[in-house]
Structure 1
Amino acid sequence: MIEKKLPPSSRREQNKAERRAAIVEIASRCFREIGYGGTTMSAIAQEMGGSKGTLWSYFSTKEELLAAVIDSATAAFHSFLATALDPEKDIRAVLTSFCETMFERISRPEAIGLQRLVISQAERFPEIGRLFYERAPAFNQAALTQFFSRHMEKGNIRPDDPSDASRMLLDMCTAGYHDRVLYGLEPQNKAIEQREAARVVKQFLRCYASEKV
């Protein structure tokens, strides 16, 4: 079997993508271990084995690099939302899948590390809180708000402000079990996540479900 070789331009693009991903991984680890303030572009360049000029060709500022770290951490969940929040599917099944996936994603060790970083550094470096909020909570709320708006139009949940409904669901997912994991009181547990998801959906629909559901 003859192995196909990529054209030079495609190979260069692939190498650039791999290099960029490696930089983001190094930065993510540095931010978690040293903190945002303690991490420098020079230190990241040194660890990646290149010059600061090479690093700056990918990211011009540390804030831009942090945004890439957050985007990398949230990309998979954003892709999930794009297909999972289908207003044509049964709302109970969709919300159960959403809550189970959200519990699992936000309680992973790397996600917990990122959340702790944001909490600990946001007062000193407000850009951290802004970047994280825009790319995680606000993004999730916008997707859920659109989803609930469609179901309110269809009569599956009672008419109300869909943004209030989305905030309520997200608040229920980020309290209780997740707080205990975030503050190091217990490890991540899939069985608990599934039970918590079922509880959240049951309580949410008790407040919002119409007689059709």
Structure 2
Amino acid sequence: MRTGTEDRPMTVREARKQDRRAAILAAARRSFLEDGYAATSMSALLKTLGGSKATLWSYFPSKEELFGAVIADVTAAFRRQVMGELDAPGDLEATLVNFCRSFMNKTAHADAVAVWRLVVAESGRFPEVGRIFYQQAAGHIERALASYIAQQIAAGRLRDDGALDMARVLIGMTAAQQNRRLWGVEPVGGDGMDADARRFVGYFLRLFATGSGAE
């Protein structure tokens, strides 16, 4: 049943709250990505933003929650596009190639590189950084790919070696190659990513495809 709230105009107060939340996220995003997790504090953000601690805490009661919101915000478009490749019509091989290509393209962007470096640098001292990143970003991608693979298993195109483990195999191949680009060992380029995507999917299908899946 529709409540009518979907079409209700936003009040001035609601708009101001949304604007304030967006301003907090923007300031926190700059601080986390430029200064790191440890160097970012709620008190320092208040100096940048103004206002009271009570107001800031009403939006984000802890630095962990604020970091989680920043990661969700930074990776939102990334998650939508990469996961959207799995919903697009197409055969198994083409869908997986598109997924891998999109994954590598997105993880090569400047914000994605900054987040990756932040998580690697800080998660040893602050385990919550890695946990939050997995919950808000990496875990969504893994589960979406595992769900797609489970559908292909059910359709008889892939053999069942555990959909989540199989998803991690494919993501692991793309991530390992992407690391070389993130380190500057290999240049970022669309042609190279396309060839890598096709190669990784070929490996994956040789491991897991049934007769009908390899056609």
Q: What is the CA–CA distance in structure 1 between the aligned matches of 2:153 and 2:9, rounded to whole Å?
A: 52
- Kept in 1: contact 2:142–2:167 (CA 8 A): yes
Q: Which moved more, 1:99-108 or 1:154-163?
A: 154-163
SS state of the match for residue 175, structure 1?
helix
Match of 1:3 in 2: none
> Residues of 1 paired with 2:88 and 2:209: CA distance?
14
1:131: how far off? 0.6
Q: Is residue 81–residue 143 contact of structure 1 (8 Å, CA) maintained in 2?
A: no
Task: Report the 3-state secondary structure (helix = DSSP H, G, I; strand = E; otherwise coil) of the residue aligned with 1:155.
Answer: coil
Aligned residue number for residue 69 of structure 1: 70
Q: Which runs of 5+ in 2 are unaligned?
A: 1-7
Query: Given that residues 87 and 150 in structure 1 are in contact (C-alpha distance below 8 angstroms), is that contact kept between their aligned partners in structure 2?
Result: no
What is the root-mean-square deviation in Å for CA atoms of aligned residues? Answer: 2.3
Residue 153 of structure 1 aligns with an amino acid whose one-letter code is A
Aligned position for 2:126: 125
> Where does the alignment leave 5 or more consecutive residues of structure 1 unmatched?
1-6
| 1:199 correspondence with 2:199 | yes
Task: Report the counterpart of residue 176 of structure 2 in structure 1.
Answer: 175
For residues 116 and 155 of structure 1, do their structure 2 counterparts lie closer, same or farther at Cα, with a shift above 3 Å needed? Answer: same
CA separation of 1:26 and 1:167: change in aligned 2, threshold 3 A: same
2-structure distance, mates of 1:181, 1:44: 33
Quote how far apart the aligned CAs of 1:39 are.
0.9
Paired position in structure 2 for 1:80: 81
Tell me which residue corresponds to 1:148.
Answer: 149
Q: For the Cα contact (< 8 Å) 1:144–1:166, is it kept in 2?
A: yes
Percent of matched pairs sharing the same residue: 40
Match of 2:188 in 1: 188
Structure-2 separation of matches of 1:139 and 1:121: 21
1:197 to 1:47, Cα distance in 2 relative to 1, 3 A: same
Q: Distance in 2 between matches of 1:82 and 1:190?
A: 19
| Aligned counterparts of 2:17 and 2:186: Cα–Cα separation in 1 | 40
- The alpha carbon displacement at 1:89 in A equals 3.5
TM-score by length of 1: 0.86
How far apart, CA to CA, are the structure 1 residues paired with 2:106 and 2:26?
A: 18
Distance in 2 (CA, whole Å) between partners of 1:13 and 1:92 is 46
Q: Which moved more, 1:30-39 or 1:156-165?
A: 156-165
The alpha carbon displacement at 1:186 in A equals 4.7
Shift of 1:10: 3.1
Q: CA deviation at 1:78?
A: 2.9
What's the offset of the Cα at 1:74? 2.0
Aligned pairs for 1:55-66 (under 5 A) are: 55-66=56-67
**Displacement after TM superposition at 1:8 (Å):** 7.5
Match of 1:157 in 2: 158
Relative to structure 1, is the Cα distance of residues 60 and 200 closer, same or farther in structure 2, using a 3 angstrom cutoff? same
Task: Answer yes or no: is the 8 Å Cα contact 1:92–1:201 preserved in 2.
Answer: yes
Name the structure 2 match of 1:16: 17
Q: Secondary structure at the match of 1:157?
A: coil
AA of the residue aligned to 1:43 = A
Relative to structure 1, the CA distance from residue 171 to residue 15 in structure 2 (aligned partners, 3 Å threshold; closer, same or farther) is: same
Equivalent residue, structure 1, for 2:4: none
